[in-house]
Structure 1
Amino acid sequence: MTTYPSTIAAAIDHELVIKKSRFITHVAPVASPEDADAVIAAVKKRAWDARHNCSAQVTGDLGDRARSSDDGEPSGTAGIPMLEVLRRRELTDVVAVVTRYFGGIKLGAGGLVRAYSSAVSEALNLATLVDRHVLTEVTISVNHADAGRFDNLLRDWVRGHGVQGIGAVLGDPVYGATARFEVWAPPAAVVGLSAEIAAASGGAVEAVLTGVERLVGVPRPPIRG
């Protein structure tokens, strides 16, 4: 089974100060290299007075496209270390931009590598991760009078019925002649969902396996201390 890299749920900003130099990190989820380039351009426009706006990006379902830029820092001291953090975290569809305001004290090559790596790593520590899995679509159509009850049932099921660490996702309902619910679930969980729908409706409602599969992002639950 193919394992897909994760991404992040939303943009994060974080500042790190090292020997009076300010390293301001912006990490953001993106859908393509073009989206990543647009994020980088926006940061450069906003931080036009900074000495460096270094960047790294990884995109593609399998994280097979990557770029980085030292933006004037000594070669290999910024972009590549930032990219290595994204790779080490097994992320894709994400861009990181680190804006540096020089504080007057040189850090040396090793110090720069550590600073840019730490800046991205600390920002990612604040992000909500989104795991991505190939899930299969199941649809459930019910009378409008029963929509509220099945909406609650499906929400409860999605929260508690992931399989082997893979979660399920409830799509937005569609209201027409009937109320149509869409669930994206691990294939191994579909039989259990069908049984629960049948039991809740006395066999009157059927969970329909459409055969459609899609790479779906499932936010990772926060670690509770």
Structure 2
Amino acid sequence: MCYTCDGKAVDRRDFLKVGAGLVAFGVGGATWARAAQGAVTALSLDDALAALKSGNERYVGHPELCSIDLAAQRNAVAAHQAPWATIISCADSRVPPELIFGGHGVGELFVARNAGNLVDTATLGTVEYGAAVLGSPLIVVLAHTNCGAVKAACDVVTKNATYPGAIGPMIEPILPAAIAARSEAGDFVDNTAKESARRTARRLAASSKVLAGLIKAGKLKIVAAIYDLQTGAVTYIE
């Protein structure tokens, strides 16, 4: 649920065009039964992307905090969820997807977060569930500027840095992006963050038969984007 600062709510129905009944659909020859009774969002993948873009414009242009009735939102979606966008975001505390996309409420965004907005088995299963079972028509791989995980990967490439515990293996998937972006003009870390998000988005479609089947059927779109910590703006990466 989005709210403006005059206290008027933007009705959830403006974003969600919901049908009725229990839905099941086939992906790659397999039939997915709905995990819980209730309709998925009927918001198209293009409309979902437009809603995220307009939400971020509100966040940048009108960032005032407003009072929202979280209890009412919680009660409204307690029995069933129909998120209209899935976000793979960094775990960075400065990048809360629900806020930076315009203050969306409980039940609207399906979010997976980890350092570096990477995709491991758990994250892949999460986004497949969001798309195939919950019917979310859009996946956004959301990088951000000045990312610590990306910085660490860049230091491995340029300084042969090492890290304790599981941190080193965690950032390994970012290394090819850092190598590719090393010679580009501009900020090395931010260029690497964009390249890593772009590669992750492509890899999602290439490595998952579930997601590939939904894309082919016109039911899913996967895009990469980067969030600017200074300006608050989200830029989509071609």
Using the size of structure 2 for normalisation, the TM-score is 0.23
Using the size of structure 1 for normalisation, the TM-score is 0.24
Query: When you count strand as a share of all residues, which structure comes out higher?
Result: 1
Larger Rg: 1
